[in-house]
Amino acid sequence: MNLPDPRHFKNIVVLTGAGVSAESGLRTFRDNNGLWREYRVEELATPEAFTKNPKLVHAFYNSRRHTLLQSAKANKAHFALANFESTFEGNFLLVTQNVDNLHEQAGSKNPHHLHGELLRARCGLCEHSVDIEGDLTCQSICRHCGGIGAMRPDIVWFGEMPQQLELIEPALSRCDLFVSIGTSGTVYPAAGFLRLAKTNGAITVELNLEASANSGFFDYCSLGLASDVLPNFFHTA
Ligand code: OAD
């Protein structure tokens, strides 16, 4: 079945997941080499984990920040999205579950980071957030309120509200094309975006290495490496 041509739509929402950054050397979560195969979510990615063992949580995110800054570069998939957006005349919203900055690196204008950003920190006392590149520790001081020890990665942990839903959900309700890329479709609310878009009449496309949990509900599906599939789909090859 031929895939639809995104240039023929007016309102596009794209959702990306860890698969889009896999070829940049950043580990996914649930594949064989995925982070959640090695580490326990409950010990690293919940507010309770941070209260119980902040040192361990800081070490995990500090290490991921190091990898991102030292070795990860945007790949062909990130560039395909950015290049398409730069010439597309309709409305284009890029929503990412990824906490890296590789969409920005490729030139995407305003990716919405549903699950927060590794290169930002937030004070648990005053909620002020700032850009960071170095390590966070249990002694980090908030530049805004001066509080000590409450700085945390600006990451959405399990049990917390994803960011910018108030902008994303209306866009999903009015989009005519929804494209899901490199995500296993297991974490809500992102996993529910397909249904919201479809209910409102959008054509839905999955681009992924393997069929996701929701694959059967998409109108179209193309499987392969993001760096191969995206330049073809978005006509940027
Ligand atoms: P997952 O690890 O659950 O899924 C990654 C998806 O990418 C899988 O469907 C793979 O088949 C696919 N994939 C792997 N390599 C690929 C490649 N080169 N090209 C295309 N696809 C590829 O990651 P997410 O779905 O992003 O949340 O996970 C969602 C959320 O769960 C994450 O944002 C994170 C995690 O817990 C938080 O930390 C809050």
Question: Which tens digits make up the pLDDT trace of 92-151?
Answer: 999 999 999 999 999 999 999 999 999 999 999 999 999 999 999 999 999 999 999 999
Q: What average pLDDT score do residues 4-11 get?
A: 98
In b/e form, how buried is each residue of 158-168, taking b as 16+ CB within 10 angstroms?
eeeebbeeeeb
- Chain segment 170-196, per-residue pLDDT in tens: 999 999 999 999 999 999 999 999 999
Q: How far apart are the first and last CA of the chain?
A: 20
Tens of pLDDT along 47-101? 999 999 999 999 999 999 999 999 999 999 999 999 999 999 999 999 999 999 9
Whether the per-residue pLDDT at 43 is higher than 90: the answer is yes
Atom 32 of ligand 1, nearest CA residue: 97
The pTM score is: 0.97
Strand ranges for the chain from DSSP E = 11-16, 91-96, 112-113, 116-123, 129-131, 151-155, 177-181, 203-208, 220-223
Tally of residues, the chain? 237
Give me ligand 1 centre to Cα 51, in Å: 26
**How far is the centre of ligand 1, averaged over its atoms, from the C-alpha of 182 (Å)?**
6
